[in-house]
Each structure stands twice: as C-alpha cells, then as structure tokens.
Amino acid sequence: MYLFSIEGGDGSGKGLATQIVHEVLESEFCFKSVEITAEPRRDHALGRLAIDSVRRQTLTPDQEAGLFAADRLDHSHGWILPRLQEGRAVVSGRNIHSSLVYQGIVGGIGLERAAQMNSAALIPDLCIWVDCDPEIALERIRKGTLRGLSSKEEYFETSELQIRIREGYRQLLSGELEMPTPFDMGAILGPISNEGTQENLRSTLKNAIRSFMNSKPIPINVEMEEIDQFQISTMVRESQNQSTLPDIGIEPSKTKLEWLEGLAPWRVLKSAQESHNKGLRSMDKGHQNYPKNILNHSMSSVCGTLSLINSAEISELRSSMGPVRSVSKRHTQRIISFLKELGWVYRRMNLVGREAPKSHLREELLSFGKLVLAIWPLRREISKWQSNNPSTHIRFFMGQMAKSGRHERALMDTISRLSILGSGLEGRSPPETIESLVDWWLGK
C-alpha cells in the first residue's frame, strides 16, 4: 500500500534505518506484510549493469543514469507495485531521490533530465532522509563489518564526493531546489541525524513513522478501494476453503450465500442500528465515548472482518482488517470489549495451550457484518444523508444517491464488492448496474 524510501549518503545508516522502519511497520500496523528491498538491485541483471557503470566509469552521465532508471522502472512495476496492490508495505533502501541527487545534481545531468528518465517509476509515499557527517560516514564504510555487509567499492569514497552528495541531498530534500514532478507528490521526512546512538535513531524513526501512519495518508501509487477488495477476496476464499464442517457436511453460517437472511439490506442496517441504540441506553455513562453510529470506521471494520473469519484474537483480527480498514491495537481491544458488553461479540478461551481469547461475532449479526463490508464506500454518505434527512426513511437512501449523480464511483465500488461477497439474497445475482443496486437495496 505504501512505498517508503530510505535516502542518504553512503555510510549514513540507511541499512539500520531500513530495519527499524520495517520493525515498526510490522509490529504496529495492519499490513499484509512488510517487504524490504533496495536499489540498485545487486541480484538483478539491470541493477548489476548500473553498478558496473559506476565502477568502470566508461559511460556518459546520461547513459549511466539511463541504466539506473531502467533498473528502477523494472523494479517498480515488476516487483514493488504488485506488493503494494496486495496491501503490503515496501521499504526501499534508496529510490528515485538517489538518482536525482547522484546523477541529477552530483553527476551534472540536471534534475529535470533525471526525473524525465524516471518519470514512469513509482513515487515513494514517504522519503526518509538519514543524514550524517561525511567523515563519520566514511569511517563506517572503511570498517570491515560495514564493508563486508554493504560492498561499497562501486562508489568513490572520498570526503570531497561525500560532501557533494550530502549537499545535494540537503538542497533537494530541504526544498532549496524545486522537486521535479511527479516526484513532488510524496512526503519527505528529515534530515534525521544518525551521528548519535542507535537508540536515538530508533526513537526518532519510530515517532516519525507513527506520525505519518496515524495521519492516514492516501497512497500515491495504488487505489485504496482495490486494496480492500483484494483483502476481502482473500478472506472470502479462505472461508470457502472451510465451507463444510468436517464429517457432518454442515455449512457454517459465515459461508452462506443468503447472508441477508431474506431481508432487504436497508432493513438489516436499520435493525442493527436499533439494536445498537438499545444496547447503549442500557449501559452506564462510562460508555459515552463509544461509537454512536454503527457505520463508525472502527466498529464497521471489526464487525465486517469478524463476519468473514470464524474467530480471531486481536492480532489475527487486525491482520485480517488490512491497511484500509485498520484500527490500532488499543482501539481494537476497546471496540471488542464494547461489542462484548453490547452482546454482539462473545469470546472463548482456548482450552489447550495459552492462546489469547478469540472473538466471535454472534450469528444474528453476520448479515450486518457482511453488509457493512459491501457498503463500505458509502458509509460516510449514509451517515451524512441520515443527518441531513432525519425524517426520511433509510430505504430511500440508495435511490436518492443514484439520482443525485454525484456518487457514481462509490456506487460502482459497492457493486464490485457485491460481486465478491454475493448479493446475499436467495436466487439473486449480484447487481451489475446502479439501477439494479437500488433494487438490491430495496430487496426487490
């Protein structure tokens, strides 16, 4: 979903920063996985050609830059993009900003020329600039441990060059030089000094990554809706692989095709909200900070995810949410506790071993859970519509959305989700047009 790049001069600590960013993303956020890569690619023919061109110094600056661009283009679309589309995070040691600095500024071909050569490459969502005094960096490079791990012989390891590289990063990433399009779309973090202890670097990076992720930025290279649909498709396939209980051939309720239980979608939504309101009234005032609307992001995500998985402890639940519907660990725990008291979720301890208790969505709420996944693109519009039309019945919502002509993308995304989840109604195919989506909402 997000591409993170780690930039800086040779020996600045990019490798360590890459590992720290990987650890933070993997331990605290809901990505399918967090992948590490680097450029140029030493394990790929194009990357090796680019590295050799620097080592041998037989090509013109333009030719050398072309090899780095070719490696990056292949890497972007052949390796990185498919992973982003699956909801993974990718942390890349060096990316486009390296070419802009090394070939564009230091190499002399110019920023615009370097950007033009790389114009089809992916754009890092966040570029993390690690800075270090060149003398300290060169000392690190000369040490046997770093030399053995990073094999830096392809670079001219002189103080003069490293000073020029550091200055190039400063000019480009501080905003002194204008970032060429389209690479001005990504966020830049830094300079982050790596002249102190590893713990200082770790603390700074951890806080920075948390700040970036908690701002919920829209990914640059992929569509959030496509990522979430992929995540839902994965959960549906996994549930279908367990479509019958062993030896007795009973279909679990979570895999039923008629998951709306014969009710119109608007009725399911209305019934769930009434149940929620009744539960809130019965609770003490200590729950006043819990969601008042069932279409709240965290409540919708937890209920929707649990509707497609048999049971889950907190880490499993968050993993199944994926990055689009992600909820923090602490808040997930609070929502599960709230749903338990509301009577929507029950928890069971594993009788064998010491596993954490697993949460189950009650069977009578499964229709709501799947429905909220289907109408996820319309959640905010439904809430806004209800606020603006308090006297109008919810069954009229979809028709009015269709007539307005302002929400075609969200309506079509809902249709795409129903093609994955099924219509939920017996003998009815998923809607394929906005008109048939309105009929589906009405239960026709």
- Using left for φ > 0, alpha for ψ between -120 and 50, and beta otherwise, residue 128 falls in beta
**Is residue 151 over pLDDT 60?**
no
Mean pLDDT computed over 7-15: 89
Indicate whether 176 belongs to any domain. Answer: yes
pLDDT computed for residue 124 by the predictor:
98
Structural domain for 204, as ranges = 3-214
Whether residue 377 contacts residue 398, with contact meaning beta carbons closer than 8 Å, is answered with no
pLDDT computed for residue 139 by the predictor:
77
Indicate whether 22 belongs to any domain. Answer: yes
Q: First CA to last CA across the chain, in angstroms?
A: 37
CA distance 202 to 19: 10
Pairing of strands 358-361, 345-348: antiparallel
Instruction: Answer yes or no: do 247 and 209 share one domain.
Output: no
pLDDT computed for residue 157 by the predictor:
54
Instruction: Answer yes or no: do 15 and 158 share one domain.
Output: yes
Q: Torsion angle, CA of 307/246/430/370, rounded to 10 degrees?
A: 0
**Is residue 288 over pLDDT 80?**
no
Percent of the chain at pLDDT > 70 equals 91
Cβ-based neighbours of 194, under 8 Å, separated by 6 or more? 8, 12, 13, 16, 17, 130, 131, 132, 201
pLDDT computed for residue 245 by the predictor:
45
Q: pLDDT per residue over 369-428, tens digit each?
A: 999 999 999 999 999 999 999 999 999 999 999 999 889 999 999 999 999 999 999 889
Mean pLDDT computed over 162-188: 95
Indicate whether 219 belongs to any domain. Answer: no
pLDDT computed for residue 257 by the predictor:
83
Instruction: Answer yes or no: do 233 and 180 share one domain.
Output: no
pLDDT computed for residue 252 by the predictor:
53
Strand ranges inside 68-152, DSSP E: 89-93, 126-131
Instruction: Answer yes or no: do 147 and 249 share one domain.
Output: no
**Is residue 152 over pLDDT 70?**
no
pLDDT computed for residue 154 by the predictor:
44
Whether residue 259 contacts residue 367, with contact meaning beta carbons closer than 8 Å, is answered with yes
**Is residue 289 over pLDDT 50?**
yes
Percent of the chain at pLDDT > 90 equals 75
Mean pLDDT computed over 213-232: 96
pLDDT computed for residue 211 by the predictor:
95
Instruction: Answer yes or no: do 341 and 205 share one domain.
Output: no
Pairing of strands 126-131, 3-7: parallel
Instruction: Answer yes or no: do 173 and 48 share one domain.
Output: yes
Instruction: Answer yes or no: do 163 and 276 share one domain.
Output: no
Instruction: Answer yes or no: do 230 and 200 share one domain.
Output: no
pLDDT computed for residue 242 by the predictor:
61
- Using left for φ > 0, alpha for ψ between -120 and 50, and beta otherwise, residue 420 falls in alpha
**Is residue 138 over pLDDT 90?**
no
Instruction: Answer yes or no: do 345 and 247 share one domain.
Output: yes
Q: pLDDT per residue over 336-349, tens digit each?
A: 999 999 999 998 76
- Boundary-marking domain end, from 214, 241, 261: 214
Q: Per the structure, how many domains does the chain have?
A: 2
Instruction: Answer yes or no: do 299 and 415 share one domain.
Output: yes
- Boundary-marking domain end, from 194, 214, 234: 214
* CATH number of the domain where residue 167 is located: 3.40.50.300
pLDDT computed for residue 22 by the predictor:
97
Instruction: Answer yes or no: do 57 and 204 share one domain.
Output: yes
Three-class SS state of 20? helix
Cβ-based neighbours of 297, under 8 Å, separated by 6 or more? 325, 327, 379
- Boundary-marking domain end, from 175, 195, 214: 214
